[in-house]
A and B are shown apart, each in its own frame.
Chain A
Amino acid sequence: MIQTLVPRKVKVLHRFRETPDIVSLTLPKVGTCVPGQFYQLSVLGYGEAPISVASYTTKTVQFTIRQAGTVTNALANLKKGDTLYIRGPYGKGYPLKEYEGKNIILIGAGCGVATLRGVIDYIIHHRHKYNDVFLFFGYRNVNDIIFKKEAVQWKEVFNFKTALSKEKSTTCHDWTSGHITEVIEGLKLRTKNTGVFICGPPRMINDTVAILKKKGFTDEQLYLSTERLMYCGIGMCCHCMIRGKFTCKDGPVFRFDEIGYFKND
């Protein structure tokens, strides 16, 4: 009997602090996952939280967790070798197969970059299958930037731009100041044969989609990764419903025409 809500025990293989409030945990892999999917991680006594896959190898899977509440704090306080529980993977990932031979634009903001990291890794491994790849990542300030090490490589391989909305210091010019949406607005993007994967806070997604649609992207080209409160992960508890769609089962990556703009309903 498969007890769907009962997680499996794993141990932390590696822990890395990305920013003052973001931590990356590497765990042994459970099941097979694709970028964009998520697992339910739990520390017993604290609760469970859905965390999306940041990157994975054949044996391990990495999660990048922002400390926002009780569970994520407990997860972030784990050390190498500590026990935690995991179940998953759940949900639908990014449609990477569909966009083979085409261009991909990744737009992320804050911790949303973590879900796109899996896509980047995948593309790096299968670089010949994709044409131009653009990365547009927005953070609040320099301290919030995650995956600094990896970004060095990304800069060589992709067209990579970072925007920092609240950074005042001007010592480093690797980034543009302002919101990532402003950066995108000012760019000329080829719409033909291009898929756009977006992950970030609801408002940023709304703004980005509006800008991209003005630039001529169609609904079918835009993929959004969404965040909701979740308990079960299997389309039963209903907390994650976006109108008739379950974020956990039909998402968390939706094509824009499936859910439309975030409307608070």
Chain B
Amino acid sequence: MTKLKVGFYGITGCAGCQLSVIFQEDDLLDLLELVEIRAWPFIKDVNDDETFDYVFMEGLVATNEDKERLLKIRKNTKILIALGACAHTGCVPAYRHFTLQKNYAHLLYEKNKNISDVQPSPIDSFVQVDYVIPGCPPSKQEIRTFLKTVVLGNIPKSYDNPVCTECKLHNNGCLLEVKKPCLGPITRGGCNAICINGGLECWGCRGPTDDANLPVMVTILRKQGHGLKFIKDRLVTFAGTKMPAVRKLVYDKNNKA
């Protein structure tokens, strides 16, 4: 059996998702037996980026360089996987979509004109993405399961249940009951409700489920006494551009955000 040719790349992002791959100390060697890592600029000196079967792409497009790189990689791989929340939703860096230019104008590079930025956007706004491994960062387990699945020639399944499903399986009490703005009900699960197990409410890092009932979620948060600005921020902090209804719901261009 020929090994799958795999590449790991990162564009604008914190590299945490790539670390999530590296941190599988116990299984890393086993993984290397399954796949041939052709390129991983983050940890490898010599990178051969000609042809891949699978490329895991972390980060989002924030500069023209990112864009060029992404387009080139897309051409060279059969399957492109968005690794982590930035690549999937845009996550925190994509917040520029939800604020007015005057709010961030003073933060832009003024002297270094060679840094040409684009509106930070997840990679699926530029290229076709075949699979998504969501999460900020994705769990080690999830990445491993994904690799095993594709090595066996299977179709990776996405987990579509909300976070609540797994949260209840961990016997957690509902954080909404104690007035915490938990986004569990509308957020895609698969994370084993790790935040709620530790007492932290869900921030929605895995993006909304495909049938998220957003109006009701907003109503709940409003009833808890949160303002529109808080709700808007909370909804898009991690879910980024994958929370399109937010704009219609609590945000419009003329809003004095």
Contact = CB atoms under 8 A, between A and B. Distances in A.
B153 A73 contact: yes
Contacts of A69: 155
Interface string B128-169: 000000000000000000000000111101000000000000
Contacts of B153: 73, 77
A70 B148 CA distance: 13
A77 B153 CA distance: 11
12 contacts: A45-B152, A46-B152, A46-B154, A69-B155, A70-B154, A70-B155, A70-B157, A73-B153, A73-B154, A73-B155, A74-B154, A77-B153
Interface of A: 45-46, 69-70, 73-74, 77
Interface in B58-76: none
A232 to B, nearest CB: 20
Nearest to B157: A70
Contacts of A45: 152
A247 B105 CA distance: 61
Nearest to A74: B154
Contacts of A70: 154-155, 157
Interface SS majority for chain A: loop
Interface of B: 152-155, 157
Shortest 4 CB-CB contacts between residues of A and residues of B: A70-B154, A70-B155, A69-B155, A46-B154
Given A45-B152, A70-B155, 10 more contacts: A46-B152, A46-B154, A69-B155, A70-B154, A70-B157, A73-B153, A73-B154, A73-B155, A74-B154, A77-B153
A49 B154 CA distance: 15
Nearest to A77: B153
A200 B152 CA distance: 31
A73 B152 CA distance: 11
A66 to B, nearest CB: 15
B51 to A, nearest CB: 24
A191 to B, nearest CB: 43
Scoring A45, A46, A69, A70 by chain B CB atoms within 10 A of each residue's CB, the highest score goes to A70
Contacts of B152: 45-46
A217 B196 CA distance: 57
Contacts of A77: 153
Contacts of A46: 152, 154
Contacts of B155: 69-70, 73
Contacts of B154: 46, 70, 73-74
Nearest to A45: B152
A204 B157 CA distance: 28
A70 B152 CA distance: 10
Nearest to A47: B154
B161 to A, nearest CB: 14
A151 to B, nearest CB: 32
A153 to B, nearest CB: 37
A74 B153 CA distance: 9
A45 B155 CA distance: 13
Nearest to A70: B154
B12 to A, nearest CB: 34
A143 B82 CA distance: 36
A86 B157 CA distance: 24
The interface centre, meaning the residue of B152, B153, B154, B157 with most chain A CB atoms within 10 A of its CB, is B154
A46 B148 CA distance: 11
A74 B155 CA distance: 11
Nearest to B149: A70
A212 to B, nearest CB: 35
B158 to A, nearest CB: 13
Nearest to A71: B154
A77 B157 CA distance: 20
